[in-house]
Amino acid sequence: MPSTHIELIFTRSGKKAQLYSGVFSYRSKVGLTDSLNITNKSISIETKRSSTNLDPLQSHNSTFYKQIIKSLCLYYLLEKHPNQLKVITLTKKSSGKTLSREVIPKSVIRQVVKKSAILTALKDINNLKAQIVLQETETGKAVLNAATHLIKSLDSSSAYDRFEKLWRAFNALYKSLAKENSDHACHVALRTYLIANPNLFPLSLAKVASLTTQDIRKRIRLNAMILNNHPTQKTTQAFADSIKRNTDRRILEMYDSSLPIREKFLKTTTMFTDVSAYIATGIAGNVTCDAEVVSLLCIKYMYFVRNKIAHAEKTDHGFTFTQASSDETEIRWLAPFLEALVIDMINISDTF
């Protein structure tokens, strides 16, 4: 069977270091694999195919193309540095003879990341867990998609583009974890899992641990989210339930200050006294639940923010004459929390 050797060389100085050596599967009916070797300076893929596309690198459905994408993703997850591709070589052989050799120079290569990209956040990804991107499974595909968006988010100069890429990474991961059909069902499942297993989300919890009520309140538009999520009298029960799902003092203090905007609805449905009493008791209890804060910020609030952007409910973020709008300031503040949650979820993706 003809073989194809694919080699990608990077502009990387210093000593050669082994990052990965093994096999990885590709789309086939019988679970076939290719050989993969990754160092800090190169990627080497050894393949065997009974037939190949005439121009495999130009076809996104080509198994060659997909194997290269998986290899590049793992390379950056392990190397954690924006090394630039210098040359790509494809050598086809049969019976020990070279049939063809194609060399793609740097001048025509589209770099995966700019050399100015700061990929240091990737140091928090467990190298062994990162290898799941090579798997031809539903979870492997979800983590591959998430990891590519995460890497590109670190290469984004726009705060909005960075946030959008992080959200896409998050979306791929929570759907893989929850295995539900709707975003709402996935969010409920993730929140339940997060609160039940806070030890599995160390980066996320550490990010919010030092936040005070005022730190959060001054950075987010809680009233706007409440009015958006609970616009009518009919949604008052859901609003009351959303408050009573929390025990964290910081969250309850924020809801306490926002209660007047839905006081009329709560009183009309005779829920005001009960909800007010729950909040007062919770604040007095002085409970800290960082997992609830992560859930509020990353799942509930950022979903609200992302939808306002994605559904064109605001003007285009680039259509402005100021250096940093309040919306951009908010997005910049939110992104590190979402980034931490994405990395935590990659690190536990083998349990999905």
| pLDDT one-digit tens code per residue, 236-252 | 999 999 999 999 999 99
In a domain, 128, yes or no: no
On whether both 182 and 259 belong to a single domain, the answer is yes
Give the chain's largest Cα–Cα span.
84
Residue ranges making up the domain that contains 78: 3-117
On whether both 49 and 164 belong to a single domain, the answer is no
Q: What is the pLDDT of residues 20-67, one digit of tens each?
A: 999 999 987 777 899 999 999 999 999 987 665 556 666 666 888 999
What mean pLDDT is predicted for residues 291-302? 98
**What total of structural domains would you count in the chain?**
2
Q: Where are the alpha helices (DSSP H) in the chain?
A: 63-79, 127-130, 138-153, 159-178, 183-196, 202-208, 213-217, 222-229, 236-244, 249-258, 263-268, 272-285, 290-294, 302-310, 326-347
pLDDT at 277: 98
On whether both 97 and 177 belong to a single domain, the answer is no
In a domain, 125, yes or no: no
CA distance 81 to 267: 57
CA distance 301 to 222: 8
In a domain, 129, yes or no: no
On whether both 90 and 146 belong to a single domain, the answer is no
In a domain, 109, yes or no: yes
Better pLDDT: 183 or 63: 183
Q: What is the pLDDT of residues 126-167, one digit of tens each?
A: 999 999 999 999 999 999 999 999 999 999 999 999 999 999
Residue type present at position 74: L
On whether both 267 and 230 belong to a single domain, the answer is yes
On whether both 103 and 213 belong to a single domain, the answer is no
On whether both 28 and 172 belong to a single domain, the answer is no
On whether both 202 and 316 belong to a single domain, the answer is yes
Q: What is the pLDDT of residues 205-225, one digit of tens each?
A: 999 999 999 999 999 999 999
On whether both 111 and 169 belong to a single domain, the answer is no
CA distance 132 to 64: 18
CA distance 167 to 338: 8
Residue 320: both structure tokens together: 């402005």
Burial label, 51 (beta-carbon count in 10 A; 0-12, 13-18, 19+): exposed
On whether both 99 and 145 belong to a single domain, the answer is no
On whether both 162 and 294 belong to a single domain, the answer is yes
